[in-house]
Structure 1
Amino acid sequence: MFHRKPLEERIAERVAKRPPLKEGKHFEHRPALIVFCVIIALVALKIVGAFVLMKWGVQ
């Protein structure tokens, strides 16, 4: 329609330009690490909160 490459080809070209991931590194960029840590913290807080409510006998 606008003489552009399909989305899959554009993504493949962009991925091919990136350098390989360093050995032992699990997250490619900092925001991914931050989001992962926030999700883990929320899950832990929810579990701890549930145990506290059970301890106090709140229903």
Structure 2
Amino acid sequence: MFNRKPIEERIAERVAKRPPLKEGKHFEHKPALIVFLIVIGLVVVKFIGAFLLMKLGVH
């Protein structure tokens, strides 16, 4: 339809154009690192809050 390649082929071509990842690097771009750190931070804060509530005896 409309002489366009399927989305899978277009994505594959775009991924193939990217340079290879550097050795020891886990995130390709900063936004991925920022989102990962925010999620980990929220999990840590939630656990600390739960332990504080248990310590204080709040139900």
Is TM-score (shorter-chain normalized) higher than 0.5? yes
RMSD across aligned C-alpha pairs, in angstroms? Answer: 0.4
Residue 3 (structure 2) pairs with residue 12 (structure 1): no
SS in 2 for 1:4: coil
- How many angstroms does 1:19 deviate by? 0.3
- How many angstroms does 1:2 deviate by? 1.1
Structure 1 Cα separation of the partners of residues 16 and 57 of structure 2: 56
Structure 2 Cα separation of the partners of residues 20 and 53 of structure 1: 47
Structure 1 Cα separation of the partners of residues 8 and 55 of structure 2: 53
TM-score, structure 2 as length reference: 0.97
Identity, % of aligned positions: 76
Aligned residue number for residue 35 of structure 2: 35
Q: How many residues align?
A: 59
TM-score, structure 1 as length reference: 0.97
Moved over 3 A (4+): none
Q: Which runs of 5+ in 2 are unaligned?
A: none
Structure 1 Cα separation of the partners of residues 23 and 49 of structure 2: 37
